[in-house]
Amino acid sequence: MAVPISQAWTVATYVLGQKLKGRKRFPLVTMLEPLFRCNLACAGCGKIQYPAHILKQELTPEECFRAVEESGTPMVSIPGGEPLLHPQIDQIVAGLVERKKYVYMCTNALLLKEKLHLFKPSKYLSFSVHLDGQREHHDFSVCREGGYDIALDGIKAAIAAGFRVTTNTTLFDGADPNSVRAFFDELMEVGVEGMMVAPGYTYEKAPDQRHFLGRARSRRLFRSILSNRKRSWKFNASPMYMEFLMGKREFTCTPWGMPAYSVFGWQKPCYLLQDGYADTFQELIDTTDWSNYGTESGNPKCANCMVHSGYEASGVYYTFGSFRGLIDTAIAVFFDAYQDKGALDLLNEPVKPVHSFNPLIQIETKVNVVETQGTTA
């Protein structure tokens, strides 16, 4: 199991407690976005296209603590933007750890090595490093030559210093399943605790609109990657969510499962869409028309979505929702090889990775220039 027992126990007792209280809609992970600035400008990102005055704004530690206490989730994910650019990120993380929240600090790791001294290793803290595949694929995806090597250096330094390190990988059309599987081997050799993979969401604001995956193609890709697993691979995701990605089971979206809080407030309805904002978490729950969201709603913005922030909570809630869910999850944990001859055949199909016929367009962001001069933007 890639997640420590204490964390799995905390999550299990939290979900069961919420169910016993009869709460219909409750969150699992707070997606805390303390800023939108980044030192990368990835082609598939929909988060950094804000005007400069928004990119300059950031949440204070107190605002972060208030939001997390309001939602009451046992886990907090800190995406962005690049959280390591926040001048008080050490205080934010320390305050959440003090509150016994399991924190996943998402980072592209370009600054991880030099800012590691700001943090203390803890079972409550994991660096979740964004790596989109092997060197060539990752550098292409984040539009930065050398990005993979810097991130890997950061990962090694964090592991050597005693930190928990996980990875999160977003896959787009043209991903080479054999390369992704080799990438899993590389991450396990380095000593990463667990890996998370998900298809990219079709952000309307993303600069590259051509390489997002449709649902059928996503299932085919994930079946080829996640079947016939090696015993050494460890994943940091609900086994039920991974079966959903492989096309083995259907879930409806749980948009309130991973609510997002940023300088705008609580985002309606989910981490990906922006159909307004609420001042409080309760207002988000009470004033969002949830029937408008999820693939089955017919909302075109949800049509191809299979992302982690919408469906991971669905997998976790399924696990703890019935005896059947517990049994299915136990089977998935103990018989996780997923031997599948058809999936092996898929690995033999020719693929043309996007980076093999497109040039890497290196994008230097202003904030990156400032950071490399050793100051905070």
Q: Mark 11-22 as b/e (b = at least 16 C-beta within 10 Å).
A: beebbeebeeee
Which strand (E) or helix (H) includes residue 164? strand 164-171
Residue 301: count other Cβ atoms within 10 Å of its Cβ.
16
Q: Which is nearer to ligand SF4, 162 or 300 (CB)?
A: 300
Least distance (Å) from ligand SF4 to the CB of residue 28?
13
Q: Which is nearer to ligand SF4, 243 or 371 (CB)?
A: 243
Least distance (Å) from ligand SF4 to the CB of residue 298?
11
Q: Which is nearer to ligand SF4, 61 or 269 (CB)?
A: 269
By the criterion CB under 6 A, which residues form the site for ligand SF4? 253, 255, 269-270, 272-273, 293-295, 301-302, 305, 307, 309-310
Instruction: Determine the Cα–Cα distance for residues 79 and 128; give it in Å rounded to an integer.
Output: 9
Q: Tell whether omega for the bond before 81 is within 30 degrees of 0, i.e. cis.
A: yes
Q: Are 338 and 226 in contact (CB under 8 A)?
A: yes
Least distance (Å) from ligand SF4 to the CB of residue 306?
8
Least distance (Å) from ligand SF4 to the CB of residue 296?
9
* SS3 assignment, position 110: coil
Q: Which residue has the tokens 């907090």?
A: 76
Q: Which is nearer to ligand SF4, 66 or 301 (CB)?
A: 301
For 76, residues 6+ apart whose C-beta sits below 8 A from its C-beta are: 29, 30, 32, 68, 96, 101, 102, 103, 104
Least distance (Å) from ligand SF4 to the CB of residue 51?
23
Least distance (Å) from ligand SF4 to the CB of residue 262?
15
Which strand (E) or helix (H) includes residue 77? strand 75-78
Q: Which is nearer to ligand SF4, 170 or 227 (CB)?
A: 170
Residue nearest to ligand SF4 (CB): 310
Rg (CA), the chain: 19
Q: Which is nearer to ligand SF4, 84 or 272 (CB)?
A: 272
Q: Which is nearer to ligand SF4, 81 or 199 (CB)?
A: 199
Instruction: Determine the Cα–Cα distance for residues 131 and 203; give it in Å rounded to an integer.
Output: 19
Least distance (Å) from ligand SF4 to the CB of residue 308?
9
Instruction: Determine the Cα–Cα distance for residues 54 and 365; give it in Å rounded to an integer.
Output: 15
